[in-house]
Amino acid sequence: MRNVFAIAVGLVVSGLVIFLLYILGPQFFTFPPGANPMDPESIKQNMHLIPAGAIILVIVAHFFGIIGGMIASTAVSETSLIPAYIVSGIIILGSIGGSLAMSHPAWSIITGIFSVIAAFFLGRIAAINKMNEE
C-alpha cells in the first residue's frame, strides 16, 4: 500500500513541477495574439507562432517534473525504486503523447524524447541516492 501512495505522491509532485514551469512561459515569452497559453486547443492552432523559448520551457518542465516525481516517490516508498519507475514512465508517455497531440515541431519532439530519457537516468541516480540516505 505504501508503494501505491508513493506513486500518487510522485505523480502529484511531477504535475506540480510541470505546471509551475508551464505558467512561467507567458511571463517570459510573448505569445501570439489570440493564443491562450492555458487553452490546449488554442496552443495547438497557434503552435507555429509560439516562441521557441516557450517550447524549450515545456521540455525543461517535463525534465524536472520527472526528476522531482522520482525523488518524491522514492522518499515515500523508502525501500523500492519501482514507484519512481512507474511515475517516470507515466510522465514520459504523457510528455511524448502531449507533444504529438499538440503538433509540436519535429525538433522539439526529438529534443523532448532525449530530455525525458536523460531525466529518467538522472532521476534514477537521485532516487537511489535518496533511498541510500534513509
- The better pLDDT of the pair 44, 115 is held by 115
What residue numbers bound the domain in which 120 lies?
Answer: 2-133
Residue 97 has pLDDT above 70, yes or no: yes
Residue 38: alpha-carbon gap to chain centroid: 16
- pTM to 2 decimal places: 0.89
What domain count does the chain have?
1
Looking at residue 12, what is its pLDDT? Answer: 98
**Average pLDDT value for residue range 91-112:** 91
Task: Evaluate whether 43 touches 64 at the Cβ level (below 8 Å).
Answer: no
Q: Give DSSP secondary structure letters for 86-104.
A: HHHHHHHHHHHHHHHHTT-
The cell numbers describing 89, all together, are 514512465
**Average pLDDT value for residue range 38-57:** 84
Residue 134 has pLDDT above 80, yes or no: no
Residue 118 has pLDDT above 90, yes or no: yes
- The better pLDDT of the pair 50, 71 is held by 71
